[in-house]
Amino acid sequence: MGESAAETKAKIIESAKKEFLDKGFIGANLRTIATNAGVTTGAMYRHFKDKDALFCALVDEAIEVTTKTVMMADVNTHSQFAPPASQEHHEEEQKAVKDLLDYLYANFDTFVLLFTKAAGSTHENFLNEICDLYTKNCETTFNWMYEQKIAPKQIDSMTVHFIASTLINAFAEIVFHKINRKEALQYIENMTEFFHFGTLHMMGIACE
């Protein structure tokens, strides 16, 4: 009995993952991917129109999960959260960060692809794009907090950019340096606690 289309597709994706990790998007060869998957190039093209589609199939879920986490910094989410200085709010933020870290370690190779092997693909600027999105959400939310008189002080745009981009890059550094999970958990907890309470201080909000 021949293998199903789903099984063939899975073999192609696994072969592509190995090829992209080894050679990066630009250096990866579609013939090699097909050969290592045990299929013809024609069979591969029935599942994926080109190399970029193959790369996207490997990383799109990780992008969706990361984007969903980053969107928790928007005004809509914060308007439903407990007060910013409360322990409950801090715990909600810590849970979101830990969930993303758990996902990262469950899909570590995918983030290696995104952060170090994506040049030439649709997602070659993912890190910059997610930094920009997080910065935009933080800036909008901080301004809303100031306008609603939740925060007595307003943070300037450059400082918001520094806070947001540093937190995003903290996750990227885990991948770049292949930090083990235990060390990464402590590192991320330190970073989030530092920026959480530091940001509240800059905004003039007393911590509980």
CB atoms inside a 10 Å sphere around CB 123? 21
Give domain limits for the chain: 1-49, 58-202
33-91 pLDDT, tens digit each:
999 999 999 989 999 999 999 999 999 999 999 999 999 999 988 888 778 878 888 88
CB atoms inside a 10 Å sphere around CB 177? 10
Tokens of 130: 């997610």
Which residue intervals of the chain are DSSP H helices? Answer: 5-27, 30-37, 41-47, 51-70, 75-80, 87-106, 108-116, 126-147, 157-176, 181-202
User: Which superfamily, per CATH, for 1-49?
Assistant: Homeodomain-like (1.10.10.60)
CB 30 within 8 A of CB 44: yes
pTM of the model: 0.91
